[in-house]
Amino acid sequence: MPGPLEGVVIVDLSRVVAGPQATMTLADLGARVIKVEQPDGDETRGWGPPFAGDDRISTYYLSINRNKESVTLDLKSDEGRDTLARLVRHADVLVENFRPGVLDRLGFPVERLHGLNPGLIVLSITGFGHDGPEGGRPGYDAIVQGEAGVMSVTGPPGTPSKVGLSIADLLAAGNGVAGVLAALYERARTGRGTVVRTSLLASVVGAHMFQGTRWTVAREVPESVGNDHPAIAPYGTFRCKDGQIQIGVANQNIWRRFAPVVGLDPDDPRYATIPDRSANRAALTAGIERVLGGDTRGTWLARLGEAGVPAGAIRSIDEVYEWEQTRSQGLVIEVDHPRLGPIELPGPPLRFDGAPPREHTAPPLLGEHTAAVLAWLDEMDLQDERERGE
């Protein structure tokens, strides 16, 4: 089924994670995404294990490239650059995550892109920003997690840890998509294209939230506190008889419901307010775990649920994908891969009321659509000639 971005054509020069994640989201929304790859392909095609099938297809690549077409172009050749110029003329959006200056050196500075297509929207994603004293640095996710402070507030106390997902890349992708949608809306009013810029650094700092204002306003340097919340208690991981659960007591109403469940007096002066509970976190946690240790995770989750206290299991990834709630939200989709056959992939996070679930296409093989896209360009060029009366 067509999505809200039906008719929007995106030329995707990006590779690895941030750009491909952004263009996959736009493809999920109905845009036509033409993924332009060098002859040796996006490097994530070789990232593994795990690989799937006899052709050793990277499951990493499969995770961020559904609903796209793949063409191969050697952008260092005249033919490749000529084809890219044709694509630009017929595109609405161009996405790239090269290091600053690379696209210029290939012969496609912003001025030329807008000369070819004044309505073109360019999304540029970099590691540390396109300018500034360190704007030219390469920036993979793990490096930016360290540089942008994520690792300093993640993991056990005193042990800087990275998030187990490519969080800097994913945040940058989300910001890039928001920028593209805003630019498309602006172009509908003005007819003009623009350049949207974001970076992994900007996206992580922009997501610091309360950890940022702890420093900028309170002049307090945040430190990692493991699974606890630095400002709220009890809020985190707690041990039961047969494992751990998560509990979130984020306001006074929840506290007054929670305390009796674990045998605490909600008016105990040590724990009466959020600052009190945070100041006495260690004693509070120990008291809660003494009670929780008397029964199983399932029993406590049921009791907490009945009391209206936010709580949850700690699931492994396989458990998440087998969970009926996950599947009920369309978060597992099936596609027919040309080499692997039917496979399941993580699904898109957005749904639109009244719209039936769309059919998704498998992440493309390298160069799978080159001939078809070149034929489409020939048709579009011929149409332009007819409109000009040539």
Q: State pLDDT tens for residues 100-124.
A: 999 999 999 999 999 999 999 999 9
Q: State pLDDT tens for residues 229-263.
A: 988 999 999 999 999 999 999 999 999 999 999 99
- How would residue 356 be classed by pLDDT, with cut points 50, 70 and 90? confident
Q: Which two tokens stand for residue 59?
A: 């499951």
Higher per-residue pLDDT: 361 or 390? 361
β 68-72/32-37 pair status = parallel
Give the separation between CA 128 and CA 341, rounded to whole angstroms: 39
- How would residue 358 be classed by pLDDT, with cut points 50, 70 and 90? confident
| Least confidently predicted of 138-152, 207-221, 349-363 | 349-363
Q: Which helix (H) or strand (E) holds 337?
A: strand 332-337
Q: To 5 degrees, how large is the angle CA 279–CA 281–CA 282?
A: 125
Q: Return mean pLDDT, the chain.
A: 96
- How would residue 142 be classed by pLDDT, with cut points 50, 70 and 90? very high
Give the separation between CA 378 and CA 85, rounded to whole angstroms: 13
Q: State pLDDT tens for residues 268-327.
A: 999 999 999 999 999 999 999 999 999 999 999 999 999 999 999 999 999 999 999 999
60 burial via Cβ count (<10 Å: 0-12, 13-18, 19+): buried
| Catalytic entry in 169, 353, 378, 384 | 169
Q: In this model, does residue 390 exceed pLDDT 80?
A: no
Is there a contact between 247 and 309 (Cβ–Cβ < 8 Å)? yes
- Domains, the chain: 9-207+324-388 (3.40.50.10540), 235-315 (3.30.1540.10)
Q: In this model, does residue 151 exceed pLDDT 80?
A: yes
pLDDT value for 384? 87
Q: In this model, does residue 206 exceed pLDDT 70?
A: yes
Give the separation between CA 284 and CA 258, rounded to whole angstroms: 13
**In sequence order, what E strands does 228-267 have?**
235-240, 243-248
384 tagged catalytic: no
Q: State pLDDT tens for residues 317-342.
A: 999 999 999 999 999 999 999 999 99
Q: State pLDDT tens for residues 77-87.
A: 999 999 999 99
Q: State pLDDT tens for residues 47-66.
A: 999 999 998 999 999 999 99
Do you know the residue count of the chain? 390
Rounded average pLDDT over 189-208: 98
Q: Which two tokens stand for residue 371?
A: 């001939």
Rounded average pLDDT over 139-145: 96
- How would residue 1 be classed by pLDDT, with cut points 50, 70 and 90? low
pLDDT value for 25? 98
Q: Which two tokens stand for residue 125?
A: 């994603």
- How would residue 209 be classed by pLDDT, with cut points 50, 70 and 90? very high
